[in-house]
Chains A and B, each alone.
Chain A
Amino acid sequence: MATGAGAVDFPNRPKGEPLLAAIGITKDFATIRANDDINFAIHPGEIHALLGENGAGKSTLVKILYGALQPTGGEIRWKGKPVAIANPAAARALGIGMVFQHFSLFDALTVAENIALALADPPPMNQLRARIEKVSAEYGLPLNPRSVVADLSVGERQRVEIVRCLLQEPQLIIMDEPTSVLTPQEADDLFVTLNRLVAEKKSVLYISHRLEEVKQICHHATILRHGKVVGECDPQQETAARLASLMVGAELRQLQAPAPASPSAPVRLAVDHLSLPRPHAFAIALDDVCLDVRGGEIVSIAGVAGNGQDELFDAISGETRAGTPGAVRIDGAECGRRGVNTRRRLNAAFVPEERLGHGAVPRMKLSSNVVLTRHATREGLVKSGVVNFTGAREVVDRVTQLFDVRKGSPDPEASALSGGNLQKFVVGREFDRKPGVLVVCQPTWGVDAGAATTIRQALIDLARQGAAVLVISQDLDEILEISDRVAVISKGRLSPPVDARGITREGIGLLMGGAHHGEGAAHAH
């Protein structure tokens, strides 16, 4: 196995003395060793991918490199010299910049003002604006320094973060999941910028779990698993499946997708001209949403986060009531004005995006969390107002078996489960009812690759047994993998669904930007 700086020759990798080398980095938290003897090196002018599942230790390592955490052991060498990076300011002084996954911008201020706030010693505003314009032109990051951040799209906000980072003239830029909030087109623009950076011999440490884009742009990859480096490779020479199995440590199962149901199958879930005003100032109004899901098929709703997905989910589940009874129909029954439990009794099941606090009560046992969604479905869990917790524990056991939920005790509190295992539980809790209609939001969000395959296969199997499955997801790979038809939600409006077999990432991406309704796109700017 190739670990350590330059132990094996990778012909496509930029040559030279490593810009940054980590030697034996170890970080212990109370009971967990998050990083265990990590060795790797970043060469000048390379885009270096850091790959790993959730909990593999990527964030810890990055925080150490950026000075936000101190390692328990090991050393960092910058241009060959050992350095101690005491805090983020020290990292910036060395020439290490970071672009965070979640932005830290003030909405009410302009681009230039936001950037001035981040600089240790900001120049006068006129000069700063000129520098911003210069940097943004050089790197293909079109940005008006006078724009107010609140008016910018997510992609533009990320450009502000990148420009802010570039103004500090870093030699190494750390990017944490930079494309997770971007449309495919915005991601392509970002890749152009990254290529210009490496052309100037700057280096990028690129953290992502999107293997296709890592293959596309990265020169070298270090793969972490359980806090250790398990390998390094040239991602352009590997298949995505091989990268995934390196991350997971096992070969991934391929999804089995038999033929979808015939177009004449009955419509089991219908959303009919559903419009809803925005419930609060930061929400999205739903505008005339129409959608049919037939028994036997999986329909997916793609879209960038915050375009009305949550509001649509709440309206379909019944947490928000629609204005008219006919706006939502389950197996033909009008239930637009009925609550979530009426809809569950019509054999519909719902899995929200937020696991803790919405799909499950964090400080309650799994058995209580079974009762949470199944107390009103007339399956004997509540008799004369008394809860049958023994029966609920049997459900927990069944779900555990079915979805391989890993837990420390037979019936722990929901918050004691890891994110992936809790997701398997909240999905399995609904599967155990054998629902006729399943609406699931972000089914594999934050779940490792192995569990994601399990959940996706279960969704396909459920659909092929005759259920109507609606998936709301921001993960295009997932959508393309499992869907029969795809619709895109943008600013509260839903595009007509199209056949998933004929569509490409780019096609979905254009719809995400709002291209399906011309006036919507015109309003966007």
Chain B
Amino acid sequence: MRIELIRRPEHSRTMVVLSPIIAIALTVIAGFFVFLAIGVDPLQALYIYFIEPLTAGWSIEALFVKAVPIILVAVGLSLCYLANNWNIGAEGQFAAGAIAGSVFPILVPGWNGPEVMVAMLVMGVLGGMLYAAIPALLKIRFGANEILTSLMLVYVAQLFLDWLARGPWRNPEGHNFPDSRPFDGGQVLPVLVGSDVRISLVFAVVAVIVAWFVLRRTLTGFQISVLGQAPRAGAFAGFSQNRMILLTFLVSGGLAGLAGICEVAGPIGMLRTTVSPGYGFTGIIVAFLGRLNPIGIFFAGLLLALSYLGGEGMQIALGISDQITRVFQGMLLFFVLACDTLIYYRIRFVRTGQHPAGEAKHGRA
């Protein structure tokens, strides 16, 4: 038996919707065996991981708190990826936004009226944009591979943040904990509902809607798709590849930066040595799981937020390391990318034996 991939004449619209669902199902099945292998009751574990977080009001709130930064990051990344720019460094742009946005509350602690939040958000966005501009300009000017540059810059940003939080920006009244002074007053994002869902949820929803409109209806969105799919056709249309590299990196960096400052000015409330449990990387999974479509990303963001909550739940209920979260996220990305093949190809099973080697092979021997 041999498996062949046959290219479809047109991409399958059914599979666009089905592929993430199949991927989720495969992840659950694979997870079943992972739990079996580490010796816990798989059904109980899957219940704790995927269902239990949805059974209480506070945990649904927590779901949105975690989903907001992931969605903001993923929406920006989706624009990059559609344009064939592989920004892997949202985690670093997230940190850069957090650092830049914290400049006022840490260096001018007395400025804590409502207007300071606007300045903090602007600084956060600019910080993320500037940090994302580095790999973009390296790609434009030197043809440097943005996957490598953007990824390596993540570690630069994280270590710089670590140094700031332990060194110059450490709270002098903080008993030597490596944290900045806590933000207060207007330096903290207003709460929208409940106790922890903040105004940043509105930013995420707005980002989703605007990105959806840009991609669906505007010439800019059209340019992104054309240049991403067929650069030569993009040149024939008169679109500039370099302009689009810069634009998509700036937008995704800006959104990652916004997510960063919203995180430190929201749930965390201060600058710490680490400000993200990997939202920048999770955003990559969410972007693909959401089919690089902003609406899809919104729901995929909620699902991945669930994977964080589930991981925490596992740790508490069964004493399993929360690294299980990463295992699940990795499996999910793996299956999503694999299932994407089904959009452009269908699978055919061929009985082997009757066709000797050499099918569709010709030329020299």
What are 17 A-B contacts with C-beta separation under 8 Å? A68-B360, A68-B361, A70-B355, A86-B358, A87-B361, A88-B361, A98-B362, A319-B236, A341-B238, A350-B236, A357-B230, A357-B233, A371-B222, A372-B233, A372-B237, A376-B238, A416-B10
Give the shortest distance, in Å, between B316 (CB) and chain A (any CB): 46
Q: Which residues of B contact A30 (CB under 8 A)?
A: 6, 348
Contact with A along B329-365 (1 / 0, CB 8 A): 0000000000000000000100000111111111111
Task: Confirm or deny: A337 has a beta carbon within 8 angstroms of a beta carbon on chain B.
Answer: no
Q: Which residue of A lies closest to B363 (CB)?
A: A104
Interchain residue pairs A-B with the least CB separation, the first 6: A87-B358, A341-B238, A68-B362, A340-B238, A361-B230, A416-B10
The answer on a CB contact under 8 Å between B218 and A340 is no
The answer on a CB contact under 8 Å between B364 and A386 is no
The answer on a CB contact under 8 Å between A362 and B229 is yes
Q: How far is the CA of A270 from the CA of B286 in the complex (A)?
A: 53
Task: Confirm or deny: B2 has a beta carbon within 8 angstroms of a beta carbon on chain A.
Answer: no
Selected from A120, A319, A363, A413, the residue in CB contact (under 8 A) with B235 is: A319
Q: Which residues of A contact B220 (CB under 8 A)?
A: 385
Q: How far is the CA of A94 from the CA of B310 in the complex (A)?
A: 67
Q: Which residues of B contact A474 (CB under 8 A)?
A: none
Q: How far is the CA of A357 from the CA of B237 in the complex (A)?
A: 11
Q: How far is the CA of A483 from the CA of B354 in the complex (A)?
A: 53
Task: Report the contact-size class of chain A (Cβ under 8 Å from the partner).
Answer: 35 or more
Selected from B222, B348, B362, the residue in CB contact (under 8 A) with A387 is: B222
Selected from A98, A382, A412, the residue in CB contact (under 8 A) with B10 is: A412
Give the shortest distance, in Å, between B23 (CB) and chain A (any CB): 21
The answer on a CB contact under 8 Å between B229 and A363 is yes
The answer on a CB contact under 8 Å between B359 and A68 is yes
Selected from A88, A371, A412, A413, the residue in CB contact (under 8 A) with B365 is: A88
The answer on a CB contact under 8 Å between B11 and A413 is yes
Those of B160-184 within 8 Å (CB) of chain A: none
Selected from B230, B355, B362, the residue in CB contact (under 8 A) with A63 is: B362
Task: Confirm or deny: B112 has a beta carbon within 8 angstroms of a beta carbon on chain A.
Answer: no
Q: How far is the CA of A100 from the CA of B362 in the complex (A)?
A: 9
The answer on a CB contact under 8 Å between A359 and B218 is no
Q: Which residue of A lies closest to B4 (CB)?
A: A30
Q: Which residues of B contact A89 (CB under 8 A)?
A: 358, 365
Q: Which residues of A contact B225 (CB under 8 A)?
A: 361, 364, 368
Q: How far is the CA of A185 from the CA of B154 in the complex (A)?
A: 63
The answer on a CB contact under 8 Å between A87 and B10 is no
The answer on a CB contact under 8 Å between A375 and B237 is yes
Give the shortest distance, in Å, between A6 (CB) and chain B (any CB): 30
Give the shortest distance, in Å, between B46 (CB) and chain A (any CB): 37
Q: Which residues of B contact A361 (CB under 8 A)?
A: 225-226, 229-230, 233
The answer on a CB contact under 8 Å between A70 and B236 is no
Contact with B along A125-148 (1 / 0, CB 8 A): 000000000000000000000000
Task: Report the contact-size class of chain B (Cβ under 8 Å from the partner).
Answer: 20 to 34
**Main SS at interface, chain B:** loop
Question: Which of A30, A352, A361, A386 gathers most chain B CB within 10 Å?
Answer: A361
Q: Which residue of B lies closest to A350 (CB)?
A: B236
| Given A104-B364, A357-B230: A87 touches B236 (CB 8 Å cut-off) | no
The answer on a CB contact under 8 Å between A66 and B362 is yes
Q: How far is the CA of A83 from the CA of B229 in the complex (A)?
A: 47
Q: Which residues of B contact A358 (CB under 8 A)?
A: 230, 232-233, 236
Those of A37-88 within 8 Å (CB) of chain B: 63, 66-70, 86-88
Contact with B along A341-383 (1 / 0, CB 8 A): 1001000001010100111111110001001110110000010
The answer on a CB contact under 8 Å between A117 and B364 is yes
Q: Which residues of A contact B243 (CB under 8 A)?
A: none
Q: How far is the CA of A92 from the CA of B358 in the complex (A)?
A: 14
Q: How far is the CA of A34 from the CA of B232 in the complex (A)?
A: 33
Task: Confirm or deny: B57 has a beta carbon within 8 angstroms of a beta carbon on chain A.
Answer: no
The answer on a CB contact under 8 Å between B358 and A373 is no
Task: Confirm or deny: A265 has a beta carbon within 8 angstroms of a beta carbon on chain B.
Answer: no
Apart from A339-B238, A359-B233, A368-B222: 16 A-B pairs, beta carbons within 8 A? A30-B6, A92-B365, A117-B364, A120-B365, A340-B236, A358-B232, A364-B226, A368-B225, A371-B222, A372-B236, A375-B219, A385-B218, A385-B219, A386-B218, A413-B11, A416-B10
The answer on a CB contact under 8 Å between B222 and A375 is yes
| Given A70-B355, A375-B222, A387-B222: A360 touches B233 (CB 8 Å cut-off) | yes
Task: Confirm or deny: A423 has a beta carbon within 8 angstroms of a beta carbon on chain B.
Answer: no
The answer on a CB contact under 8 Å between B356 and A86 is yes
Q: Which residues of B contact A510 (CB under 8 A)?
A: none
Give the shortest distance, in Å, between A345 (CB) and chain B (any CB): 10
Q: Which residue of B lies closest to A360 (CB)?
A: B233
Task: Confirm or deny: A109 has a beta carbon within 8 angstroms of a beta carbon on chain B.
Answer: no
The answer on a CB contact under 8 Å between B236 and A317 is yes
Q: Which residues of A contact B236 (CB under 8 A)?
A: 317, 319, 340, 350, 352, 358-359, 372-373
Contact with B along A97-139 (1 / 0, CB 8 A): 0101000100000000000011010000000000000000000
Task: Confirm or deny: B39 has a beta carbon within 8 angstroms of a beta carbon on chain A.
Answer: no
Task: Confirm or deny: A415 has a beta carbon within 8 angstroms of a beta carbon on chain B.
Answer: yes
Q: Which residue of A lies closest to B357 (CB)?
A: A87
Task: Confirm or deny: B217 has a beta carbon within 8 angstroms of a beta carbon on chain A.
Answer: yes
Task: Confirm or deny: B319 has a beta carbon within 8 angstroms of a beta carbon on chain A.
Answer: no
Those of A11-55 within 8 Å (CB) of chain B: 30
Q: How far is the CA of A376 from the CA of B237 in the complex (A)?
A: 9
Selected from B6, B10, B362, the residue in CB contact (under 8 A) with A88 is: B362
Q: How far is the CA of A86 from the CA of B10 in the complex (A)?
A: 33
Give the shortest distance, in Å, between B167 (CB) and chain A (any CB): 46
| Given A87-B358, A385-B218, A386-B217: A357 touches B11 (CB 8 Å cut-off) | no
Q: Which residues of B contact A385 (CB under 8 A)?
A: 218-220
The answer on a CB contact under 8 Å between A69 and B238 is no
Task: Confirm or deny: B113 has a beta carbon within 8 angstroms of a beta carbon on chain A.
Answer: no
| Given A361-B230, A363-B229: A68 touches B222 (CB 8 Å cut-off) | no
Q: Which residue of A lies closest to B238 (CB)?
A: A341
Q: Which residue of B lies closest to A357 (CB)?
A: B230
Task: Confirm or deny: B277 has a beta carbon within 8 angstroms of a beta carbon on chain A.
Answer: no
Give the shortest distance, in Å, between B355 (CB) and chain A (any CB): 6
The answer on a CB contact under 8 Å between A362 and B230 is yes
Task: Confirm or deny: B194 has a beta carbon within 8 angstroms of a beta carbon on chain A.
Answer: no
Give the shortest distance, in Å, between A179 (CB) and chain B (any CB): 20
Give the shortest distance, in Å, between A291 (CB) and chain B (any CB): 21
| Given A385-B218, A386-B218: A364 touches B229 (CB 8 Å cut-off) | yes
Q: How far is the CA of A341 from the CA of B239 in the complex (A)?
A: 9
Q: Which residues of A contact B143 (CB under 8 A)?
A: none
The answer on a CB contact under 8 Å between B226 and A372 is yes
Give the shortest distance, in Å, between A276 (CB) and chain B (any CB): 16
Those of B10-30 within 8 Å (CB) of chain A: 10-11
| Given A67-B358, A317-B236, A358-B232: A100 touches B363 (CB 8 Å cut-off) | yes
Those of B207-258 within 8 Å (CB) of chain A: 217-220, 222, 225-226, 229-230, 232-233, 235-238
| Given A92-B365, A363-B11, A373-B236: A386 touches B229 (CB 8 Å cut-off) | no
Q: How far is the CA of A341 from the CA of B219 in the complex (A)?
A: 14
Q: Which residues of B contact A415 (CB under 8 A)?
A: 9-10
Q: Which residues of B contact A66 (CB under 8 A)?
A: 362
Give the shortest distance, in Å, between B15 (CB) and chain A (any CB): 14
Give the shortest distance, in Å, between B327 (CB) and chain A (any CB): 33
Those of B297-346 within 8 Å (CB) of chain A: none
Q: Which residues of A contact B359 (CB under 8 A)?
A: 68-70
The answer on a CB contact under 8 Å between B219 and A386 is yes
Q: Which residues of A contact B238 (CB under 8 A)?
A: 318, 339-341, 344, 376
Q: Which residues of A contact B354 (CB under 8 A)?
A: 70
Q: How far is the CA of A373 from the CA of B365 in the complex (A)?
A: 45
Those of A321-351 within 8 Å (CB) of chain B: 339-341, 344, 350
Q: How far is the CA of A363 from the CA of B84 in the complex (A)?
A: 15
Q: Which residue of B lies closest to A339 (CB)?
A: B238
Q: Which residue of B lies closest to A164 (CB)?
A: B364
Q: Which residues of A contact B357 (CB under 8 A)?
A: 87
